[in-house]
Homo-oligomer: A and B are copies of this chain.
């Protein structure tokens, strides 16, 4: 079927023609269709049976233009291919932690997948101080499983190159290269920041040591093809409830630095921490929730690192290095040291990337709802100043911050300054 945007009217006929969906949407039931997309790049439809509400799915269709401004900004529809291919790998390596893919159609740029109607986007409950008891464990599992199995520690050399080629994703990578690593740190018309923090923002943009670090981090983002990363794993890409966690929207996926996804999760929790200086005036309530956030950050790193290493020990199948490379007296200890150092490398990248991503949210084209929803600019400035100071130190001190406790100490130390 030649590409055309679907509508609530044409959707059901289109889905009836897809054999893979016969089991999900039995033909003898009546279906409601609702368009729920609030993005500007894609159409999103929810389809649900009136007779049997578990017969339901979500259809995502890429638009060939940027929707908010009509058809004037043409876009490639490749992103739905990248999203589908990434979700299939997530389904394979982290089953139950990403929406299940039922079907896809590259000609129509559609993706048919699990309807996550018992979950909500994580960002908003974080503002309401909801605690999620399984989140650290789930996201650590997702990160370890997806990052390990797409690395040279698990794959053969040629499998890895095929993965790199399949996820070349040049257009969306270019967006992140510009809007995460470049424009927030220089004069650029789309940048937004709180005028109350203008001095601080200008100081960051002229901080030579920080600028060089960011240039190096960008080099790693552009060129270090370590693992298949989600590359947009903020708390708006996580759907959650008290039992379950699902990572969605991996259309930015490509083979890049493994620390990037871990950094995205941790720095979003740091921004949530910052936001409670405004959202939660009661000091006890605030301290309690901030402590939960920090403990969650610690658990995520520690469990991720442990799971990643366990996978490596259990499946040393990749070409970096074949197991018999370490087969000599003392080789076991040398291999253990290499694993430790490999994870230290991911950690070091993570620290710098977390800082960069925090700063870009405070100084670039788009903030996060946790913070932008703080209406009073004075109160927002308290949260933003904290986030900028933490982010700046994570970048500049990335060589000194050797473990997760030191990483969190930076937040503790800057928190002291907020209270002072």
- The listed residue (B186, B205, B223, B325) touching A152 by CB distance below 8 A is B223
- The listed residue (B182, B205, B330, B337) touching A322 by CB distance below 8 A is B182
Contact A161 B157 (CB under 8 A): no
Contact B320 A219 (CB under 8 A): yes
CA distance A352 to B84 in the complex (A): 40
Q: Does A170 contact B (CB under 8 A)?
A: yes
Residues of B within 8 A of A319 (CB): 174, 177-178, 182, 222
- The listed residue (B152, B165, B174, B322) touching A222 by CB distance below 8 A is B152
CA distance A161 to B256 in the complex (A): 12
- Tell me the dominant secondary structure on chain A's binding face: helix
Closest to A177 in B: B157
Given A161-B173, A325-B185, A215:B330 Cβ within 8 A: no
Range class of the A interface residue count: 35 or more
Q: Does A378 contact B (CB under 8 A)?
A: no
Q: Does A73 contact B (CB under 8 A)?
A: no
Closest to A325 in B: B186
Contact A212 B157 (CB under 8 A): no
Residues of B within 8 A of A186 (CB): 322, 324-325, 327-328
Contact A324 B187 (CB under 8 A): yes
Q: Which of A140-192 contact B (CB under 8 A)?
A: 152, 156-158, 160-162, 164-165, 168-171, 173-174, 177-178, 182, 185-187
Q: Does A225 contact B (CB under 8 A)?
A: yes
In the assembled complex, how far is the CB of residue A264 from the closest CB belonging to chain B, in whole angstroms?
20
- The listed residue (B158, B211, B321, B330) touching A325 by CB distance below 8 A is B211
CA distance A335 to B59 in the complex (A): 47
In the assembled complex, how far is the CB of residue A179 from the closest CB belonging to chain B, in whole angstroms?
12
Contact A165 B168 (CB under 8 A): yes
Q: Does A331 contact B (CB under 8 A)?
A: yes
Given A165-B168, A168-B164, A224:B223 Cβ within 8 A: yes
Residues of B within 8 A of A177 (CB): 157, 319
CA distance A171 to B158 in the complex (A): 7
Q: Does A208 contact B (CB under 8 A)?
A: yes
Q: Which of A207-236 contact B (CB under 8 A)?
A: 208, 211-212, 215-216, 218-219, 222-226
CA distance A165 to B333 in the complex (A): 38
Residue picked from A162, A164, A327, most chain B C-beta under 10 Å: A164
Residues of B within 8 A of A399 (CB): none
Closest to A185 in B: B325
Residues of B within 8 A of A219 (CB): 152, 320
Residues of B within 8 A of A3 (CB): none
Residues of B within 8 A of A157 (CB): 170, 173-174, 177-178, 222
Contact B168 A337 (CB under 8 A): no
Contact B334 A208 (CB under 8 A): yes
CA distance A187 to B331 in the complex (A): 13
Q: Does A369 contact B (CB under 8 A)?
A: no
Q: Does A405 contact B (CB under 8 A)?
A: no
CA distance A376 to B187 in the complex (A): 67
CA distance A331 to B210 in the complex (A): 12
Residues of B within 8 A of A326 (CB): 211
Closest to A158 in B: B170
Q: Does A206 contact B (CB under 8 A)?
A: yes
In the assembled complex, how far is the CB of residue A156 from the closest CB belonging to chain B, in whole angstroms?
8
In the assembled complex, how far is the CB of residue A411 from the closest CB belonging to chain B, in whole angstroms?
28
* Subset of 26 A-B contacts with CB under 8 Å: A152-B219, A152-B222, A152-B223, A157-B173, A157-B222, A160-B222, A161-B168, A161-B169, A161-B173, A177-B319, A182-B322, A185-B325, A186-B322, A186-B324, A208-B330, A208-B337, A211-B325, A211-B331, A212-B337, A215-B321, A218-B321, A222-B225, A223-B224, A223-B226, A224-B224, A225-B225
Nearest 7 Cβ contacts at the A-B interface: A208-B334, A161-B170, A157-B174, A223-B225, A158-B170, A206-B328, A186-B325
